[in-house]
């Protein structure tokens, strides 16, 4: 089965909040994945923080519109957070594809394991200053070729 939906954690996976900045290659990666036809989403813990305040913590050029609106899961809005199974189940439900067509990218090993537990594919990325996001699209393509699908 091919990966069609890619979810990202925010903090330390795509961005840092202190300072408000993109991780190296994160912004270009999102653009390239979207151009390649992937549906993009977010699964992020945002305890008791309203959406407007979440956006203020992100880089000034962060565009939430890069992600499908129904695939943006902020824990403060849905009432459960990672690593609880419910947030990953909700992500699969919203994607409207089988769990194994969803990929979750994060730096957190426990979140990676829970995503895999619900049937999602998962990649653990390196945090800054050793961010490996520049290689993520190639990693996805290599994986899909191993299982017999193309990006």
Of 60 and 129, more confident? 60
Show me where the domains of the chain are located. Answer: 12-146
Handedness of CA 51, 27, 94, 123 (dihedral sign): negative
- Find the mean pLDDT for residues 75-96: 97
Above 70 in pLDDT, residue 149? no
CATH class entry, domain 12-146: alpha beta
Rounded to a whole number, what is the distance in angstroms from the first to the last CA of the chain?
A: 11
**How far, rounded to the nearest angstrom, does the alpha carbon of residue 70 sit from its chain's CA centroid?**
13
d(CA 80, CA 33): 27
Q: Are 115 and 105 in contact (CB under 8 A)?
A: no
User: How confident is the model at residue 130, as a pLDDT?
Assistant: 81
Q: Are strands 39-44 and 102-106 parallel, antiparallel or unpaired?
A: unpaired
Q: What is the pLDDT of residues 13-71, one digit of tens each?
A: 999 888 899 999 999 999 999 999 999 999 999 999 999 999 999 999 999 999 999 99
CA separation (Å) from 59 to 7, 16, 63, 78, 127?
19, 8, 9, 23, 17
**How far, rounded to the nearest angstrom, does the alpha carbon of residue 5 sit from its chain's CA centroid?**
9
Above 60 in pLDDT, residue 133? yes
Kindly indicate the confidence band of residue 112, based on its pLDDT and cuts at 50, 70 and 90: very high
- Find the mean pLDDT for residues 101-115: 96
d(CA 24, CA 102): 24
User: How confident is the model at residue 150, as a pLDDT?
Assistant: 53
């Amino acid at each position: 089965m091919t990966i069609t939906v890619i979810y990202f954690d925010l903090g330390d996976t795509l961005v840092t909040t202190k300072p408000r900045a993109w991780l190296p290659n994160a912004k270009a990666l999102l653009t390239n994945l979207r151009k390649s036809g992937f549906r993009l989403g977010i699964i992020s813990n945002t305890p008791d923080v309203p959406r407007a305040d979440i956006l203020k913590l992100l880089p000034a050029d962060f565009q939430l519109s890069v992600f499908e609106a129904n695939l943006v899961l902020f824990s403060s809005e849905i009432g459960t957070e990672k690593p609880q199974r419910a947030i990953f189940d909700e992500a699969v439900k919203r994607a409207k594809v089988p769990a194994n067509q969803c990929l979750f990218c994060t730096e957190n090993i426990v979140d990676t394991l829970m995503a895999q537990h619900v049937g999602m594919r998962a990649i653990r990325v390196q945090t800054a200053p050793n961010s490996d996001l520049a290689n993520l699209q190639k990693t996805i393509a290599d994986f899909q070729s191993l299982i017999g699908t193309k990006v």
